[in-house]
Amino acid sequence: MNTTIPFISDQFINENCQFNGLIDALKRGFSNSDIEVPMRHHHDFSNPKEANDSTLLLMPAFNPGKELGVKIVTVSPNNGKYNFPAIQGMYIFIDGHKGFIKAILEAKSLTAKRTAAASALASSYLSKRNAASMLMIGTGALSINLIKAHCSVRPIESVYVWGRDIGKAQKICEALKNEQFTCTAIKNIEYKISEVDIISSATLAPTPLVLGKYLKKGQHVDLVGAYKKDTREADDEAITKSSVYLDTYQGGLKESGDIVIPLSKGILLKETIKADLFELCNNSKTGRTSDDEITVFKSVGHALEDLVAASYIYNLFQNKVEI
């Protein structure tokens, strides 16, 4: 047996991962009742130089007898001022029978790809089939991936990008200039929120950017940021006007202010949440029911997504090596 542990880099993941394939793999994963996912460890720790807490996440998952893995991630919200990604980490991918490490994957691109693919998977159930326009709120590492993922499941023709730094939004549009959709950087959110079919938000903003007063019938809202209980990207009105869906009940009900705060106020009731990705993918619950419905999908991330994505990417890597 070869004792050298393969290292799968961000570069390999970015060059070889295809969203259609990853989305299909995630759909099968959320339909697989054999995969076991303990509650992830979420530890905030002080970061004195920044006067702002950072976070350590440990995310294990097991597909018994086949494969298992754990992702180790740190989140440092102020890293942007150092021109350094907020999210850092590695994924340890392990044989589920004999327990040896099959590969170590860089977690930055793994996380970005699986997160975007999960949002697109949800969109395939929740956005209108003819959705043709999208607003991307946020200019971090996830933004390009979210745009490409959403565009892989819907016939999107026009994408708009907003960030606090218009220059970063313009760079994203420049990076997407050869895609089959147009991409435009914008300076204001308000007027555009009311015009697009899909709104995707991936920010570390502590207070809401998606305001319900601007939402219109038929829209789909994809909330990916706000990973702490006291932060949120959508306000109360956005929640009350919408049908709410989660990636998982396990994390979604506990980890993000987008859900925790409305629940604590009684604005949202647990029993009125429509479904999670497990229920959508195994067809026990349905998604969008009409073209007038406003849908909200809240993602906090789930270790099943990491395990499925790691397995998908590992197989791509093995095929490349064998060739």
- What local confidence, expressed as pLDDT, does residue 252 receive? 85
As given in the structure block, the two tokens for residue 232 are 């949120």
SS3 assignment, position 44:
strand
Do residues 61 and 67 make contact, with C-beta atoms less than 8 angstroms apart?
no
Q: What is the set of domains in the chain, with CATH numbers?
A: 7-110+304-322 (3.30.1780.10), 125-301 (3.40.50.720)
Q: Are 160 and 151 in contact (CB under 8 A)?
A: no
- Predicted confidence at residue 250, as pLDDT, reads 85
What crossing angle do the helices spanning 141-153 and 166-175 adopt, rounded to 10°?
50
pLDDT tens string 211-243: 999 999 999 999 999 777 888 999 999 999 999
Q: How far apart are CA 169 and CA 143, in angstroms?
A: 9
**pLDDT < 50 stretches in the chain:** none
Q: Which residue has the tokens 């099959």?
A: 102
**Residue written as tokens 């394939």?**
21
pLDDT given at position 190: 86
Q: Is the dihedral of CA 142, 148, 150, 153 positive or negative?
A: negative
Rounded to whole angstroms, the Cα distance separating 270 from 272 reads 5
CB 108 within 8 A of CB 85: yes
Tens of pLDDT, residues 271-288: 999 999 999 999 999 999
Strands 198-201 and 54-63: unpaired
Residue-wise burial string across 120-157, b where 16 or more C-beta atoms lie within 10 A, e elsewhere: bbbbbbbbbeebebbbbbbbbbbbbbbbbbbbbbbebe
Can you give the pLDDT at residue 1? 52
The CA-CA-CA angle for residues 92, 138, 313, to 5°, reads 25
